[in-house]
Amino acid sequence: MSKSVLIVDDSIYMRSLIKSALTGAGFNVVGEAQNGEQAIDLAIELQPDLITLDNILPDMMGFEILKVLKDEGVESKVIMVSAVGQQTVVNKGLSLGASEYIVKPFTEEDLVSVVNRVIS
């Protein structure tokens, strides 16, 4: 059975790119969220194997979402995706429970490779 993925990004363009890459690689995209509130609701409801999480959303930061998911007992693996890749920010994401941190722009191959590594 293919692994389930929730995509969290405020940009429909980025969600579409990520969805296309992951669907093409055999993953099952079970939901998409464009803000933090939707992301938390869908993560709790769907309990996906993996969440791709944009760090900057209109209503909250990905860091805050990581904390809420931990408090709610959501055990999905999380890959943070952000245009800002400073080392302190990457370390912060990883220390809050993210499995990987991908800096935009990235290729489809990069993304699929990281996702495979995280949920294999």
Partner 1 sequence: MIFDGLSMAKSSMEQILQSPITIQKIDYNEEPGVHRFYEGGEGDVHIIKTELMGELKGISHLLFSEQEVTKLYKACLPDHVTFDDSNESVLMKLGFLTEIDNMVAGAVITEFSNFLGVEIYGKVPSLSVIKANDVNAFLESESTDFDSVIHFKAVFHGKELDISPDFVWVFQDKFVDKIKGLV
Provide the binding-site residues for partner 1, judged by CB under 8 A.
10-14, 16, 55-58, 61, 82-89, 103-105
Question: What is the closest distance, in whole angstroms, from the C-beta atom of residue 103 to partner 1 in the complex?
Answer: 7
Question: What is the closest distance, in whole angstroms, from the C-beta atom of residue 27 to partner 1 in the complex?
Answer: 21
Q: For Cα atoms 50, 71, 53, give the angle at the middle one, nearest 5 degrees.
A: 35
Beta carbons of 110 and 98 less than 8 angstroms apart? no
If the CB atoms of residues 56 and 72 are measured against partner 1, the closer one turns out to be: 56
If the CB atoms of residues 39 and 74 are measured against partner 1, the closer one turns out to be: 39
Q: How far apart are CA 113 and CA 115, in angstroms?
A: 6
If the CB atoms of residues 2 and 91 are measured against partner 1, the closer one turns out to be: 91
- Whose tokens are 């994401």? That residue is 93
